[in-house]
Amino acid sequence: MVYVPWQYQRLTEAGRPIWTSLNAEETAELQRLARGRRCLEVGSAFGWSAIAMSLAGAESVTAVDLHEPHVTNEQHDTLPEMVTNLRAYGAKGVRILQRHSHDMLPELASHSHTRFGLVFIDGDHEEKAVREDAYWAHLLLTHDGVLACHDYGNDNTPGVKAALDALFPDGPTRVARSLWVLET
């Protein structure tokens, strides 16, 4: 099992530090997957992954998060910090939807024209929530899309592994540290 600690990191040498649990390997893989694709992110926190995907050349990034107080960083609202981080990095094409994924994903799926080349899930890590997010995310993928989920195999988030293993018994295409990747 893997433990992924939260820490301040920079996406560029001169960039503003952002609180994240994605490491360099996971970030690089997410950027590779995002390049040239319409991306949907479930769970944005302070904006690290949305910015990483934007800077990598994602066609667009739709970021879904309630932005409630974040327990890993002194319980403050993450939305103002995400907006500040997006501006600091000059991230383009990022649309923030301040909604709960269990409401937003079915709504997006109800529009037949709304599909994404990459859906990245890093929201609620409880098994039931991950199962629901991954189910709807899979429906939102283009025919050649990619589903990626963070914290797979993380000791502190066993619900992620349990949900993904139950929904996708054939397993992922690959796992990069704790980034579970399924290419459809």
Per-residue pLDDT tens over the stretch 20-79: 999 999 999 999 999 999 999 999 999 999 999 999 999 999 999 999 765 555 556 799
Quick check: is 1 in a domain? no
* Predicted pLDDT of residue 77: 77
Burial of 158 (0-12, 13-18, 19+ CB in 10 A): middle
Joined tokens for residue 184: 């459809």
Quick check: is 113 in a domain? yes
CA 167 vs. chain centroid, Å, equals 18
Q: Which domain holds residue 41?
A: 7-183
* Predicted pLDDT of residue 143: 95
Question: Who contacts 99 (Cβ-Cβ below 8 Å, separation ≥6)?
Answer: 64, 66
Q: Quick: pLDDT tens for 66-121.
A: 997 655 555 567 999 999 999 999 999 999 999 999 999 999 999 988 999 999 99
Residue 22 sits in a domain whose CATH number is 3.40.50.150
* Predicted pLDDT of residue 180: 98
Please count the CA atoms within 13 angstroms of the CA of 57 that sit on its side-chain side.
5
Q: What is the pTM of this model?
A: 0.94
Structural domains in the chain (count): 1
* Predicted pLDDT of residue 5: 83
